């Protein structure tokens, strides 16, 4: 696949973003918060939606930059790709002039939907399987996609390290990375590795944009990625390290549960912007390997 040169097909957004949720979508449409530079939605929650909600979304996508973060592509599934679904995604991205499409480096279906993000085995065979599917999806969408480093709670059949697996998939499929710093923190606790070393080992030149979120602490050695709490200081610290390591990239706050008022969410979005301003070079227009979009 080629680079991101078409403004309708993958040009990244800039600055600090927020995941749009119906709990505050009407408020966002009526009085858009100045702190939010771009919005993110799950296309599965909006494809085919008409009426009031459909009009609201259309009004927002006509006014503001949007990206899509999918939930059910199931890129690592042993079952065949749902090509009808992929084509619906393409139509939705085109219709709403979506800037980028991202998904999870995991799977969520086999003979039916599993309603959770399951870990792909870290093996060479799994790399080859996932790479073939990513290439097929990118060909249909006529876009590069980005895949998120996911949180996981078991690593069945592991032969490669998580870093080796991610790097091989991105390189061989020639796709991008959605860098989720909260997932790095969660996984580092659950699997006992150094979060800073893991972050440093990622292919920063492939970062399209980033996610930051909160999680639950179930035990001293167990974190659950819920997106249901405020971002904690160690995760903010990882985001700062990522900016120092890779350059400033667009970054979005996710919040899916225990959603506070929009004004409270924008406080965390404002903190993203402040960190970006602090770490953005004053005399540089590019970061390693790509334009500086933030």
Q: How many CA atoms lie within 13 A of 268 on its CB side?
A: 26
Q: How many CA atoms lie within 13 A of 218 on its CB side?
A: 10
- pLDDT given for residue 63 in this prediction: 96
- pLDDT given for residue 237 in this prediction: 98
- pLDDT given for residue 1 in this prediction: 36
The 3-state DSSP class for residue 268 equals helix
- Structural domain boundaries of the chain? 16-282
Low-confidence ranges of the chain (pLDDT < 70): 1-11, 107-118, 227, 282-294
Q: What is the DSSP string of 14-76?
A: -SEEEE--HHHHHHHHHS--TT-SEEEE-GGGTTT--HHHHHHHHHHHTTS-EEEE-S---TT
- pLDDT given for residue 152 in this prediction: 84
The CATH number of 16-282 is which of 3.40.50.450, 3.20.20.150, 1.20.120.160, 3.40.50.300? 3.20.20.150
DSSP character at residue 246 = H
C-alpha to C-alpha distances, 30 to 24, 33, 146, 183, nearest whole angstrom: 10, 9, 31, 33
- Give the whole-angstrom CA distance, residue 272 versus residue 259: 18
Q: Do 153 and 190 form a contact (C-beta atoms < 8 A)? A: yes
Q: Give the global pTM.
A: 0.89
- pLDDT given for residue 292 in this prediction: 35
The enclosing H or E element of 176 equals: strand 176-180
Kind of pairing, strands 112-118 and 207-212? unpaired
Q: What is the DSSP string of 76-143?
A: T-SSPP-HHHHHHHHHHHHHTT-S-EEEESSEEEESEEEEEEEPPP-SHHHHHHHHHHHHHHHHHHTS
Length in residues, the chain: 294
Q: Do 280 and 46 form a contact (C-beta atoms < 8 A)? A: no
Kind of pairing, strands 101-104 and 146-148? parallel
- Give the whole-angstrom CA distance, residue 144 versus residue 134: 9
């Amino acid at each position: 696949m080629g680079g991101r040169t078409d403004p309708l097909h993958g040009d990244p957004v800039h600055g600090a973003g927020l995941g749009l949720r119906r709990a505050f979508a009407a408020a966002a449409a009526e009085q858009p918060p100045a702190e939010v530079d771009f919005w993110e939605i799950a296309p599965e929650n909006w494809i085919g939606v008409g009426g009031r909600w459909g009009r609201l979304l259309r009004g927002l996508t006509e006014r503001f930059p949007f990206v899509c973060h999918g939930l059910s592509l199931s890129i690592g599934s042993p079952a065949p790709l749902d090509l009808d679904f992929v084509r619906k995604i393409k139509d939705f991205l085109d219709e709403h002039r979506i800037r980028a499409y991202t998904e999870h480096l995991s799977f969520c279906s086999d003979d039916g939907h599993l309603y959770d993000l399951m870990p792909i085995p870290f093996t060479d065979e799994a790399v080859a399987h996932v790479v073939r599917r990513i290439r097929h999806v990118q060909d249909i969408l006529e876009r590069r996609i980005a895949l998120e480093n996911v949180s996981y709670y078991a690593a069945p059949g592991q032969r490669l390290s998580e870093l080796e697996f991610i790097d091989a998939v991105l390189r061989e499929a020639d796709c991008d990375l959605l860098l989720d710093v909260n997932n790095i923190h969660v996984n580092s606790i659950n699997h006992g590795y150094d979060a800073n070393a893991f972050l440093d080992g990622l292919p920063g030149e492939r970062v399209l944009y980033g996610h930051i979120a909160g999680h639950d602490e179930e035990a001293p050695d167990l974190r659950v990625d819920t997106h249901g709490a405020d971002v904690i200081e160690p995760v903010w610290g990882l985001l700062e390290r990522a900016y120092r390591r890779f350059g400033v990239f667009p970054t979005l706050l996710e919040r899916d549960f225990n959603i506070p008022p929009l004004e409270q969410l924008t406080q965390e979005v404002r903190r993203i912007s402040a960190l970006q301003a602090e770490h953005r070079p004053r005399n540089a227009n590019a970061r390693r390997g790509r334009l500086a979009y933030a």
